[in-house]
Amino acid sequence: MSLDKATVAKIAHLARIKVPEEELDHLAGELSQILTFVEQLNEVDTGNVPPMTSVAAQKLRRRKDEVTDGGYRDAVLSNGPETAEGFYVVPKVVE
């Protein structure tokens, strides 16, 4: 699979990573190379093979419905780059 610049720009946007225009070409080359490498999997017959969900052969464990966490607003906000009045703050979002 060969990715073009436009596709790389689209993926970068989907991943919310700003990629400088001048790096797109090079990146497209690298990503294409990786995709070509991983496409060797097409050789493997996986007809009825179930996709692996987890290597841990066990059941999903469940918690009791008890309040055991939270209630520490200061700790939650202490690493925040911008906070005010107990909120995280971001540039205005228009819906």
Partner 1 sequence: MSYIQGETGDWEIVIGLEVHAQVISNAKLFSGAATAFGAEPNSQVSFVDAAFPGMLPVINEHCIEQAVRTGLGLKAQINLHSVFDRKNYFYADLPQGYQISQYLQPIVGKGEIVLDLPDGSSRTVGVTRLHLEQDAGKSLHDQHPAKTYIDLNRSGVALMEIVSEPDMRSAEEAGAYVRKLRSILRYLGTCDGNMEEGSMRCDVNVSVRKPGEPFGTRCEIKNVNSIRFVMQAIEYEARRQIEIIEEGGKIDQETRLWDTTKFVTRSMRSKEEAHDYRYFPDPDLLPLELEPEWVEDIKKTLPELPDDKKARFISEYKLSPYDANVLVSEKARADFYEAVAKGRDPKLAANWVTGELFGYLNKAGKEIEESPVSAENLGGLIDLIADNTISGRIAKEVFEAMFETGEKAADIVEKKGLRQVTDTGAIEASIDAVLAANADKVAEFRSGKDKLFGFFVGQVMKATQGKANPALVNEILTTKLKG
Partner 2 sequence: MAELTHLTMAGALDGLAKKEFTAVELAEAHVKAVETIRPLNAFITETPDKALEMAKASDARRAKGEAGPMEGLPIAVKDLFCTKGVLTTAASHILDGFKPEYESTVTSNLWRDGAVMLGKVNLDEFAMGSANITSHHGNVISPWSPGEVGNWSRQLVPGGSSGGSAAAVAARAALGATGTDTGGSIRQPAAFTGIVGIKPTYGRCSRWGVVAFASSLDQAGPMTRTVEDAAIMLRSMCGFDPKDSTSVDMPVPDFRAALTGDIRGLRVGIPKEYRVEGMPAEIAAIWDQGIEWLKAAGAEPVEISLPHTKYALATYYIVAPAEASSNLARYDGVRFGLRVEGGSLKDLYENTRGAGFGKEVRRRILIGTYVLSAGYYDAYYNKARQVRTRIKWDFDEAFQRCDVILTPTAPSTAFAIGEKMDDPIQMYLNDVFTVPASLAGLPGMSVPAGIGSDGLPLGLQLLGRPFDEETVLRVGQVIEKAAAVTATPPFMA
Name the site residues for partner 2 (rule: CB under 8 A): 3, 7-8, 11-19, 27, 30-31, 33-35, 37-44, 46, 49-58, 60-61, 63, 72, 75-76, 78-82, 88, 90-93
- Near partner 1 in 9-68, by CB under 8 A: 14, 16, 53-54, 56, 58-68
DSSP for residue 74: H
Among the listed residues 11, 9, 29, 4, the one whose alpha carbon sits nearest the alpha carbon of residue 21: 9
How far is C-alpha 34 from the chain's CA centre?
Answer: 18
22, interface contact from partner 2, partner 1, none, CB < 5-8 Å by kind: none
